[in-house]
Amino acid sequence: MGCTIIGCGKALPALEIANDDLTALVDTSDEWITTRTGIKTRRICVDETNVDLAERAARAALGWDEGGFNERRIDPEEIDLIVYSTATPDVMVPTCAALLRRRLGLSNAVAFDMNAACTGFIYGLGIAESMMAASAAGAAGASGRNAFRRALVVGGERLTRITNWEDRNTCVLFGDGAGAAVVEWSDERAGILATYLRNDDDTDNALTCPTAFDAPQPFDAQGVSLEAAQAADPGLARIDAELGVTEAVEAGRPRQTLYMHGQKVFKFAVEAMGRAVDEVLERAGLTIEDVSFIVPHQANERIIKYAAKRMKLPLDRFQISIAHRGNSSSACIPMTLSDAYDAGRIHPGDKVVLVGFGGGFTSGAVLYEA
Ligand code: ACO
């Protein structure tokens, strides 16, 4: 009995930008980007939105359109949950999940967005699995809850909307995309064998995006004040200091872009991926030898190589998709999982590990039996 992945799909924007194209924007080279990251090209939304991509990925995962992996076609009323991971929603309200629900006509679905940075899809699967397990027949308290039997779990991002195209340390890394999986509670199959979700404090502020809401607010500590509507938000200055971005923001750097200390994130990533795989295997009572295949977050090919070395695994046990996509945050893992299905690399009974890390810091892994 458990929660099984029965469908998977992905979608990418049309525009493809090569490393050489970026030399028009920043002082970089194809050679530097290729050797330091493994990235050659990335896809960038111009006409498409986050939800446009998610819609295409979901339709493929549901078996409505060609191009996805499906055990069977899912009818709209069968989906009772949408968990949509994104750090870059098109708009704040309605949620991307609500927009997706409306477009696809998933009229029985409870739908919400969540954000765990690049680990979002792993957290999303963990949430969906927990909600299904808690409402399954026989679970303590199940009769007092919504019953969830089939969920659409999405990772969708327009990361290039929060990219600073004047910062060569970050802008060469990112791309856009969306991936989606259909998961189903099954009385016969084991499906997800274990999950491991974790947070560590990002004490060095290695990864931040200090975007702020800034509608004018006509209040000060005494009450209504029309002058206050013109003044800067005093709380924001404290958050800027807490995140270590005061100087950059005061110098005019856009606050809606990513700030990153690459080497600190790199170090955390290698450690976090190895730990998450160890922990999820221990929770399932399995060893790395039992695992057929690993689908890691795609931030830098070198991170995957180091992690593989730490796990003492050959690189061909990992699905790698970074060369023509770059890092699209929470969309990476479901898109790369979709690649693995497309390539016929996942067979019934295989044990597969999905593993990620991201800002926060978040990290985690899901181990499932296909
Ligand atoms: N082109 C040319 N030179 C560059 C570029 C570039 N695009 N970027 C940096 N450099 C230079 C630096 O300025 C530095 O020059 P200096 O020695 O003269 O100061 C030199 O290259 C080396 O820079 P490092 O930062 O040491 O390079 P490193 O090998 O660490 O690679 C990278 C940088 C690719 C960012 C790497 O650290 C990395 O991948 N980190 C992890 C990033 C990550 O995983 N992010 C995930 C989260 S993203 C999210 O959550 C949305």
In this structure, which residue's CA is closest to atom 20 in ligand 1? Answer: 169
Q: Provide the residue type at 59 as one letter.
A: R
Annotation marks residue 261 as catalytic:
no
Direct distance between the N- and C-terminal alpha carbons of the chain, in angstroms, rounded to an integer = 13
What span, in angstroms and rounded, lies between the C-alpha atoms of 243 and 311?
A: 33
Closest CA to 142 of 133, 129, 152, 151: 133
Q: For residue 41, what pLDDT band results from cuts at 50, 70 and 90? A: very high
What is the mean predicted confidence (pLDDT) over 35-49? 98
Backbone φ, ψ for residue 304 (5° rounding): -65, -40
Closest CA to 318 of 274, 265, 264: 274
C-alpha 36 – ligand 1 centre gap (Å): 8
The strand ranges marked E within the chain are 2-11, 15-18, 41-44, 69-70, 81-85, 110-114, 150-158, 176-186, 192-199, 207-208, 219-220, 223-224, 259-260, 293-296, 351-358, 362-369
If you search the block for the tokens 């525009």, which residue do you land on? 15
Which CA distances in Å does 38 have to 18, 176, 268, 296? 12, 17, 19, 14
| pLDDT tens-digit readout, 300-326 | 999 999 999 999 999 999 999 999 999
Question: Which residues, 6+ apart, have CB-to-CB distance to 319 below 8 Å?
Answer: 293, 294, 295, 296, 336, 337, 339, 340, 343, 345
- The two three-digit tokens of residue 8, written as one number: 């998977």
Q: What is the pLDDT of residue 204?
A: 97
Q: Provide the residue type at 231 as one letter.
A: A
Q: What is the pLDDT of residue 54?
A: 98
DSSP element (H, E) containing 132: helix 120-135
Annotation marks residue 118 as catalytic:
yes
Q: What is the pLDDT of residue 276?
A: 98
pLDDT at 232 over 90: no
| pLDDT tens-digit readout, 106-119 | 999 999 999 999 99
What is the mean predicted confidence (pLDDT) over 141-147? 94
C-alpha 82 – ligand 1 centre gap (Å): 35
Q: For residue 92, what pLDDT band results from cuts at 50, 70 and 90? A: very high
Does the pTM of the predicted model rise above 0.75? yes
Work out the mean pLDDT of the chain and round it to a whole number. 96
Output the DSSP codes for 265-320. HHHHHHHHHHHHHHHHHHHHT--GGG--EEEE--S-HHHHHHHHHHTT--GGGB--
Backbone φ, ψ for residue 221 (5° rounding): -60, -25
DSSP element (H, E) containing 341: helix 332-342
* Strand pairing class (176-186; 150-158): antiparallel
pLDDT at 15 over 90: yes
To the nearest 10°, report the CA torsion of 90, 93, 95, 96: -20
Q: What is the pLDDT of residue 216?
A: 87
What is the mean predicted confidence (pLDDT) over 206-235? 89
| pLDDT tens-digit readout, 245-290 | 999 999 999 999 999 999 999 999 999 999 999 999 999 999 999 9
Annotation marks residue 327 as catalytic:
yes
What span, in angstroms and rounded, lies between the C-alpha atoms of 186 and 172?
A: 42
Which region among 117-131, 159-173, 210-224 has the lowest average model confidence (pLDDT)? 210-224
CA 310 from centre of chain: 23
Q: Is the beta carbon of 305 within 6 A of some atom in ligand 1?
A: no
In contact, 42 and 325? CB cutoff 8 Å: yes
Selecting among 209, 297, 300, 332, the annotated active-site residue is: 297
Q: What is the pLDDT of residue 333?
A: 98
Q: What is the pLDDT of residue 213?
A: 84
- The two three-digit tokens of residue 243, written as one number: 């995140």
Name the residue of 19, 42, 169 whose CB sits within 8 Å of the most ligand 1 atoms, as the mutation to test its pocket. Answer: 169
Angle between helix axes 120-135 and 332-342 (nearest 10 degrees) is 80
What is the mean predicted confidence (pLDDT) over 122-134? 97
